[in-house]
Chains A and B, each alone.
Chain A
Amino acid sequence: MLSHYSYDIAHLIGATVLMAGFALLYQRRLQAVLNTFAFQALALAAAAGWQAHVQNAPHLWVTAGIALVFKAILVPFALHWLVKELGIHRAVETALSIGWTMIVGVALVALSIMLVLPVTANAAALTRESLALAMSVVLLGLLMMITRHNAVTQVVGFMALENGLILAAVSAKGMPLVVEISVAFSVLVAMTLFGIFFFRIRERFDSLDLQYLETHRGDR
């Protein structure tokens, strides 16, 4: 009975992460994008915590803690500050219309379910569904990176992609700690790196819109 229950909860939380991934696709305002990302990270922290409880794997609590403190609180906070500091409040341009982006997103989710469920027939049910959800989140993050020109939203897209990866890692039973810590750590490093980048780009171009950056693409 308990296993059934634990499966349902894991599924529910995983689906919440995925829904947040969809919500990220249609936000137009930067602040809304950041808030949605914070919500996704919160759901991820819940997913990691639940897996820690179900798998009886205390080290996953660390992952949950990192997701909660770092990704759901610190990063959105820092990005909010950055957006304010740089004065980019305007709506974000998207390459595809929102409608088309959503349709592509749905197709990607269908694709990952069709790919993952058949090949994991022997794996534990808990792992199976979560993996399909995680792959959807990864692909949606990728889609977000492709459809947005703005640097901040691209970074958020990349972090959404990483959320999907961590969801997959915590769902894989007994996966060694090395990976989770390293992922979290690399996010930290990546973040400072991004920060440096922002300032330099800001210094030089007066805009974070990547279209300004792409003048040198191709023929040289």
Chain B
Amino acid sequence: MPVLIPEAANPLFWILAFPLGGAGFLAVLPSWRQAAIVNVAISIGTFIGSLALVAHRPEATRLFFIDDFNVYLVLLTAFVGVTTAVFSAAYIGREVRARRLNAMRLRFYHSMYQAFLFTMLLALTANNTGVMWVAIEAATLATVLLVSLYRTKEAIEAAWKYFILCSVGIGLALFGTILVYLAAQPVMGDGPDAMAWTLMIGRAAEFQPDLLNLAFVFLLVGYGTKVGLAPLHAWLPDAHAEGPTPISAVLSGVLLNVALYAILRFKMLIAANGHTLTPGPLMVTMGLSSLFLSAFMLYRRGDIKRLFAYSSIEHMGVITFAFGMGGPVANFAGLLHMTMHLLTKSAVFFAVGIIAQNAGTKHIGDIRGLTVSHPFIGWGFLVSVLAIAGLPPMGVFMSEFLVLSSTFARDPLLAAPLALGLLLAFGALISRASQMAFGTPLARPTLYGRESPMVMTFVYTAFALHIIPVMVAGLYLPPDLVRWFQSVAKMLG
């Protein structure tokens, strides 16, 4: 039996050791200024490890494995980890100045940030359905603590709601995981073999199909809660709105995608069986209902972070819809949209974090004339919102267009509601963004003071690293990337 814990020569060891060790180290580091820098350094280490993982792919063990699908998400997760850590350093400096956070809470915050990244990377690389479940459960605990960081009434309410809903979701996912084990056990024998992705996928055809069907319903509802699919989305807007903004960025940029990854892994198993119900219609329905619900909700939001949280529900709905349609083209579109949404939405939250600090409020009605008062961040914000709304020729438009056209080719009746939902959401976001970007700025004194140019350079860098690839992707996709996505799309069936 191969060694379970990866060795030091294996990049896998480093991408897990960096965040885990970092969480421990940051918990004892008293100075928040140093902690913010160490946080960035650790995240960069993790990112370098993930680059090494792309170049050198270690062999699968009983506990860990790397294939085309998860290596791409590991890379993106580590990337968002770095840029958000950079943004976070700028963000928390101003929060401290406004006396909203103290040193003790920041120690806790940095430690939990790395702990959260660790659980996400563990969930992505685990070759065991049980370990993956544990990792996602631990991620829930870490993020609940982060969401409640400000200890305001709203933050505690949001954290409580998040905790209760996601615990139930994760409980149902565990039941689904047990059912999958029961389906695999007669074929694979007792023990960890019947929980290993790499071993199960080869013999999935012999599993009992009815049991897999039942399991998938539990898994879709369970992990679907964490993806934020309607009607299980109630926690998502609150958790995004009330926690610190860097956490909103990683929730949308990392957590939702990892939960969706879990669903897709199980879907691959179902697809490899061949005698089960097709999981597609279920996912299509949940995707469309999320899209519509959030498209309408977008019109009535008064809170800027809540607005973009609903936009995350919308995009996760579109991505789930695409994977539900299945087939090489729709899967390709789903993967591309996942990437584009992840990059763009984190960028939007970077801008929103600074804007809300400048304005001293999250209320949309009180934010006006951003392009006049803060030209750099104002125009950046506008561009990123146009990107997330799906304006051509940016990346999100391209992936949405691919989802739409592949749906139209296969099932025109489904394409109509999809197009309508996308248009509704587009209208809402554009009207809200123009309201905030133009007009006469409301000059109000805030606790945050002016931003220092040096610190803002970091924010702009993080922002640019996210938004430039999105703008380029709308016009040109590197052939290597296309080939990569194509091979993953084929795996997804």
Contacts and interface: CB of A to CB of B under 8 A. Distances in A.
A174 B190 contact: yes
Interface string A183-220: 10010011001000100110011000010011010011
Chain B, interface SS category: helix
Interface magnitude class on chain B: 35 or more
Contact of B163 (A116, A183, A197, A216): A197
Contacts of B13: none
A140 interface: no
B407 to A, nearest CB: 31
Contact of B131 (A173, A178, A190): A178
B133 interface: yes
Interface in A19-74: none
B160 A213 contact: yes
B182 A172 contact: yes
Contacts of A190: 141, 167
Nearest to A123: B182
Interface stretch (B46-54, B210-218, B253-261, B336-344): B210-218
Contact of A204 (B153, B174, B190): B153
Contact of B190 (A169, A173, A178, A201): A173
Interface stretch (A6-14, A100-108, A160-168): A160-168
B301 A165 contact: no
Given A119-B210, A138-B171, A216 B157 contact: yes
Contacts of A173: 185, 190
A220 B168 contact: no
Contacts of B433: none
Chain A, interface SS category: helix
A182 interface: yes
Nearest to B138: A186
A168 B241 CA distance: 37
B178 A169 contact: yes
A95 interface: no
Nearest to A57: B190
B41 interface: no
Nearest to A141: B171
Given A173-B185, A189-B141, A182 B151 contact: no
Nearest to B212: A119
A208 to B, nearest CB: 11
Given A186-B141, A197-B160, A120 B178 contact: no
Given A168-B178, A175-B178, A193-B144, A119 B128 contact: no
A162 B174 CA distance: 10
Contacts of B164: 145, 154, 158
Among B156, B175, B210, find the residue whose CB has the most chain A CB atoms closer than 10 A. Answer: B175
B134 A178 contact: yes
Interface in B156-172: 156-157, 159-160, 163-164, 167-168, 171-172
A116 B144 contact: no
A176 B130 contact: yes
Top 5 A-B pairs ranked by shortest CB distance? A174-B190, A119-B210, A182-B134, A179-B130, A178-B130
Interface of A: 115-116, 118-120, 122-123, 127, 131, 134-135, 138, 142, 145, 151, 154, 158, 161-162, 164-165, 168-169, 172-176, 178-179, 182-183, 186, 189-190, 193, 197, 200-201, 204-205, 210, 213-214, 216, 219-220
